[in-house]
């Protein structure tokens, strides 16, 4: 189908619609919100599902087939925080702390954007490789570490916390559930998996249903940041859309070189284009207190995330198709 149909189909899929509902709820000043523990519980469930399924697939995959994609992912984890930092510092004239803080977000990855990309590729019949969750785990922390390192070096920041914070990122919820899930999934094998598949399968209705509720709340959170869009200024607005496109293109291209399918390259592009809003914010808040949270939270949550799930992913898909010729 053509781009326009693809876009339309994507916009009318549950993920963007649930996100829009959350935003609208905030716009009409509704007090609706998902209880915090439910929100956390859903994110735990979603991440663990990704890990488990990824582990089951990993057991099948040949090391060779993963090696290059893994290398490409790590490379993205090193490049994207630096490009982000330089663009903001040089072109955007942002301070060191703000530039490094935002770089930590864009150097990491958004699991929900990843999920949206996976279901998009499936919907258009271009399934990504089964080992993608492994790449998701690989992309989570390097970018944050590099960005915080840049920040620590460039600022006379009180490093009383840095070491502790890096450890927190490495042992955070996302890593425990993704990596832990990968190991469990790989060890328990098909037999163990089939017994819990209906509950944990990322392609199943339970996962998709829970995801819809989670994204509804993400919409509420993003909606509460819309007011800040004015505060962040035009440069960051543009940055929040153009940077993902550049990182997305880079991700798709590296994925292509690494031998990923069209679907796989699309998802890797979406991962590179996405910005973390779970692991990065607290880490940045503690190590770069001078970085303004309004900047990095608004850019990641209220600009880049919606752009990716609404338009970015189909765009990266087109890029991947074009590269695949």
Partner 1 sequence: MHTTTLNLVTIIAEPVLEEMLTRELRQMGARGFTVTESRGEGSRGIRASDVPGQNIRIEVIVAPAVVPAILAHVSTHYFPQYAVIAFVQAVEVVRGEKYI
Interface with a second copy (CB under 8 A), residue from 93, 125, 205, 230: 205
Interface with a second copy (CB under 8 A), residue from 3, 163, 190, 198: 198
State yes or no: residue 286 binds a second copy (CB under 8 A). no
By C-beta, is 11 or 286 nearer to partner 1? Answer: 286
State yes or no: residue 297 binds partner 1 (CB under 8 A). yes
Would the CA dihedral through 91, 96, 99, 103 be positive or negative?
positive
CB 300 within 8 A of CB 101: no
By C-beta, is 97 or 182 nearer to partner 1? Answer: 97
SS3 for 209-254 is HHHHHHHHHHHHHHHCCHHHHHHHHHHHHHHHHHHHHHHHHHHHHH
State yes or no: residue 44 binds partner 1 (CB under 8 A). no
| Token couple for 81 | 């925080």
Q: How many residues bind a second copy (CB under 8 A)?
A: 53
Q: Give the shortest CB-207-to-partner 1 separation in angstroms.
A: 22
Scan residues 79-108 and list those touching partner 1 (CB under 8 A).
none
Interface with a second copy (CB under 8 A), residue from 5, 90, 171, 190: 171
Question: Please, what's the largest Cα pairwise distance for the chain?
Answer: 56
State yes or no: residue 86 binds a second copy (CB under 8 A). no
CA distance 198 to 205: 8
| Token couple for 198 | 């209906």
CA distance 257 to 68: 9
CA distance 169 to 191: 33
From Na ion, partner 1, a second copy, none, interface partner of 187 (C-beta below 5 to 8 A by class): a second copy
Q: Phi/psi of residue 29, each to 5°?
A: 55, 40
From a second copy, Na ion, partner 1, none, interface partner of 41 (C-beta below 5 to 8 A by class): a second copy
From partner 1, a second copy, Na ion, none, interface partner of 301 (C-beta below 5 to 8 A by class): partner 1
From partner 1, Na ion, a second copy, none, interface partner of 70 (C-beta below 5 to 8 A by class): none
CA distance 316 to 299: 20
Q: Which residue has the tokens 């944990």?
A: 200
Question: Where on the chain is the footprint of partner 1 (CB under 8 A)?
Answer: 36, 158, 160-161, 164, 221, 224, 277, 281-282, 284-286, 289-290, 292-294, 297, 301
């Amino acid at each position: 189908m053509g781009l326009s149909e693809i876009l339309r189909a994507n916009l009318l899929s549950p993920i963007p619609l649930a996100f829009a509902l959350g935003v609208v709820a905030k716009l009409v000043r509704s007090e609706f919100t998902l209880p915090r523990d439910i929100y956390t519980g859903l994110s735990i469930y979603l991440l663990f599902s990704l890990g488990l399924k990824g582990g089951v697939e990993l057991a099948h995959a040949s090391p060779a087939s993963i090696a290059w994609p893994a290398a490409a992912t790590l490379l993205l984890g090193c490049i994207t925080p630096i490009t982000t930092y330089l663009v903001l510092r040089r072109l955007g004239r942002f301070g060191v702390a703000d530039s490094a803080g935002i770089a930590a977000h864009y150097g990491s990855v958004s699991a929900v954007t990843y999920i949206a990309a996976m279901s998009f590729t499936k919907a258009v019949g271009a399934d990504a490789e089964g080992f993608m969750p492994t790449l998701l785990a690989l992309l989570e922390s390097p970018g944050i570490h590099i960005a915080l390192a840049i920040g620590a070096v460039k600022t006379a920041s009180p490093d009383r916390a840095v070491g502790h914070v890096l450890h927190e990122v490495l042992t955070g919820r996302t890593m425990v559930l993704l990596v832990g899930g990968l190991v469990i999934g790989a060890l328990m094998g098909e037999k163990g998996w089939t017994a819990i598949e209906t509950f944990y399968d990322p392609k199943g209705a339970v996962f998709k249903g829970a995801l819809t509720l989670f994204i509804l709340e993400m919409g509420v959170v993003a909606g509460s940041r819309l007011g800040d869009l004015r505060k962040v200024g035009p440069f960051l607005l543009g940055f929040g859309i153009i940077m993902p496109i550049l990182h997305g293109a880079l991700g798709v291209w590296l994925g292509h070189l690494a031998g990923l399918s069209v679907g796989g390259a699309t998802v890797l592009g979406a991962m590179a284009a996405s910005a973390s809003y779970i692991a990065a914010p607290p880490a940045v808040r503690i190590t770069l207190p001078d970085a303004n949270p309004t900047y990095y939270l608004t850019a990641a949550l209220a600009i880049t995330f919606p752009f990716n799930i609404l338009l970015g992913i189909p765009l990266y898909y087109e890029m991947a198709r074009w590269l695949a010729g």
